[in-house]
């Protein structure tokens, strides 16, 4: 029988405040799975029009899938979030693009009509589970020169980008980082970030009970002079510092996706429509260039050009990686369309959770900018990949006309 494809829409997204990894961080003694469960419960609370039994899949990403981030996290999240026992779930791992992949996976299932409503998200507790904990890379990777050993250390891959693109100076990276901090501070001041933050109760044997309500990593007021004096841990006299790269963080995200038909049936709001997406592989030694070919492929699939993109949410794993993207597409370092509320350098980057943060923020930008029809969420991915997802703004006058 002929199969009718369905349009996929992003309904809503939330996240926990992001914390600093380590014993001094606010989530030091909070379980990773409890963070993402809190996000799923908040989505269900926000949308009483959605019967829980209509959620047909839960996909949850984590980069380090052990301990409280292991054991088929999506299924356990579904069970512990109050969804019916009939709701299935699974785990996803594509390193930093875990949540982004969880979104595209369930979107593909919705698109072909296998399901109508799903929840996707991600969590990373880098304090409990540092990236690479317990892994055993095949020695052939280095021994047979399949890749340079620097490919296994993300900070070294960022230094490699500086080698490849000399125009991407440390000074430009530091200036971009200062801008990220400034924009996030302004967004907080205007009350734009807070509505999508889920307060999380925390407990510490020494500090007692607490309540996480705001991001812990931001350093408002950061100056170029301060960043200029920071150490370069990945290379003597290098370019990458703790100031122009995302830190080590804990946090979780979740979002609700549905078919256009199901959203209309249930009265779910439509925040944006999925237009296209792409994942690509690149040289692992310079994984930061990944968003460039991924974006080119996603644009081609959508029949669009970079000039059609009016808003960009680019994950700031490293400033140099974002600047490589901007230079390639001829976009200025301080273009107002790029990361209007700052990015991971200021907010934090709990690896597998970050993709949904980008999407949730893009959806909010769409509300404020009905003149923008298309937006992009994109990120670099460890071991040499890039991911990009293009979304359409339902507030635009021409929304859906070419769908």
- Span 39-62, pLDDT tens digits: 999 999 999 999 999 999 999 999
Mean pLDDT lowest among 118-127, 199-208, 240-249, 273-282:
199-208
Q: Which among 116, 111, 96, 141 has a CA at the least distance from the CA of 279?
A: 96
Predicted local distance difference test score (pLDDT) of residue 149: 86
Percent of the chain with pLDDT over 90: 91
- pLDDT tens per residue across span 333-377: 999 999 999 999 999 999 999 999 999 999 999 999 999 999 999
Q: Which residues are bridge partners to 276 per DSSP?
A: 390
Any domain includes 24 = yes
Any domain includes 134 = no
Any domain includes 39 = yes
In this prediction the pTM is 0.97
> Does the annotation count 96 as an active-site position?
yes
Predicted local distance difference test score (pLDDT) of residue 344: 98
Q: Which residues are bridge partners to 272 per DSSP?
A: 10
pLDDT range class, residue 210, cuts 50, 70, 90 = very high
Predicted local distance difference test score (pLDDT) of residue 207: 84
> Does the annotation count 39 as an active-site position?
no
Predicted local distance difference test score (pLDDT) of residue 297: 98
- 124 and 115 in contact (C-beta within 8 Å)? no
Predicted local distance difference test score (pLDDT) of residue 140: 87
3-state secondary structure at position 85: coil
d(CA 99, CA 107): 12
Residues counted in the chain: 403
d(CA 69, CA 396): 39
Any domain includes 77 = yes
Q: Which among 357, 359, 343, 378 has a CA at the least distance from the CA of 273?
A: 359
List 96, 129, 162, 173, catalytic entry: 96
Any domain includes 227 = no
What average pLDDT does the segment 208-214 reach? 95
Any domain includes 204 = no
Does residue 261 surpass a pLDDT of 80? yes
Per the model's pLDDT, the better-predicted residue between 150 and 273 turns out to be 273
Predicted local distance difference test score (pLDDT) of residue 141: 82
Predicted local distance difference test score (pLDDT) of residue 144: 83
- Centre a 10 Å sphere on the Cβ of residue 327 and count the other Cβ atoms it contains: 16
List 162, 239, 349, 365, catalytic entry: 349
Any domain includes 301 = yes
- Centre a 10 Å sphere on the Cβ of residue 355 and count the other Cβ atoms it contains: 33
CATH number at residue 72: 3.40.47.10
Any domain includes 192 = no
> Does the annotation count 349 as an active-site position?
yes
Does residue 403 surpass a pLDDT of 70? no
Does residue 75 surpass a pLDDT of 80? yes
Does residue 32 surpass a pLDDT of 70? yes
2, exposed or middle or buried, with CB in 10 Å at 0-12, 13-18, 19+? exposed
Average pLDDT, the chain: 96
Calculate the alpha carbon distances from 212 to 74, 217, 369 in Å: 23, 12, 30
Predicted local distance difference test score (pLDDT) of residue 346: 98
Percent of the chain with pLDDT over 70: 99
Calculate the alpha carbon distances from 199 to 15, 59, 141 in Å: 9, 22, 43
pLDDT range class, residue 214, cuts 50, 70, 90 = very high
Assign residue 41 a region: left if phi > 0, alpha if psi is -120 to 50, beta otherwise?
Answer: alpha
Which backbone phi and psi does 202 adopt, to 5 degrees? -120, 155
- pLDDT tens per residue across span 309-339: 999 999 999 999 999 999 999 999 999 999 9
Q: Which residues are bridge partners to 195 per DSSP?
A: none
pLDDT range class, residue 145, cuts 50, 70, 90 = confident
Calculate the alpha carbon distances from 333 to 3, 23, 302, 308, 344 in Å: 45, 35, 26, 18, 16
| Domain carrying residue 349 | 8-128+246-392
Does residue 133 surpass a pLDDT of 80? yes
State how many domains the chain has. Answer: 1
Does residue 242 surpass a pLDDT of 70? yes
Does residue 109 surpass a pLDDT of 90? yes
């Amino acid at each position: 029988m002929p199969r009718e494809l369905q349009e996929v829409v992003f309904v809503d997204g939330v996240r926990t405040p992001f914390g600093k990894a380590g014993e001094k961080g606010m989530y030091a003694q909070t379980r990773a799975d409890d963070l993402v469960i809190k996000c799923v419960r908040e989505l269900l609370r926000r949308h009483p029009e959605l019967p829980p039994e209509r959620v047909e899949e839960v996909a949850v990403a984590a980069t380090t899938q052990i301990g409280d981030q292991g054991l088929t996290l999506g299924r356990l999240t579904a069970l512990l979030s109050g969804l019916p026992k009939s709701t299935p779930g699974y785990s996803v791992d594509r390193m930093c693009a875990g949540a982004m992949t969880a979104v595209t996976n369930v979107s593909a299932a919705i698109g072909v009509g296998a399901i109508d409503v799903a929840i996707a998200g991600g969590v990373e507790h880098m304090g409990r589970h540092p990236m690479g904990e317990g892994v055993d890379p095949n020695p052939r990777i280095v021994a047979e020169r399949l890749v340079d050993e620097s490919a296994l250390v993300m900070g070294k891959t960022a230094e490699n980008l500086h080698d490849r693109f000399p125009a991407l100076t440390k000074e430009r990276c530091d200036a971009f980082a200062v801008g990220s901090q400034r924009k996030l501070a302004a967004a907080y001041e205007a009350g734009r970030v807070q509505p999508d933050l889920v307060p999380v109760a925390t407990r510490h044997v020494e500090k007692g009970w607490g309540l996480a309500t705001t991001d812990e990593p931001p350093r408002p007021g950061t100056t170029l002079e301060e960043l200029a004096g920071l150490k370069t841990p990945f290379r003597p006299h290098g370019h990458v510092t703790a100031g122009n790269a995302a830190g080590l963080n804990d946090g979780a995200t979740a979002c609700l996706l549905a078919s256009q038909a199901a959203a209309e049936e249930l009265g779910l709001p439509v925040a944006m429509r999925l237009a296209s997406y792409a994942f690509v592989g690149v040289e692992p030694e310079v994984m930061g260039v990944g968003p460039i070919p991924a974006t080119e492929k996603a644009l081609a699939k959508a029949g669009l050009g970079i000039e059609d993109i009016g808003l960009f949410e680019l994950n700031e794993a490293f400033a140099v990686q974002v600047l490589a993207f901007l230079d390639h597409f001829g976009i200025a370092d301080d273009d107002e369309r790029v990361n209007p509320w700052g990015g991971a350098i200021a907010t934090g980057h709990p690896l597998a959770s970050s993709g949904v943060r980008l999407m949730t923020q893009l959806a909010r930008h769409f509300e404020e900018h009905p003149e923008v029809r298309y937006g992009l969420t994109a990120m670099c991915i460890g071991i040499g990949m890039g991911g990009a997802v293009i979304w359409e703004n339902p507030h635009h006058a021409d929304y859906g006309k070419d769908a």
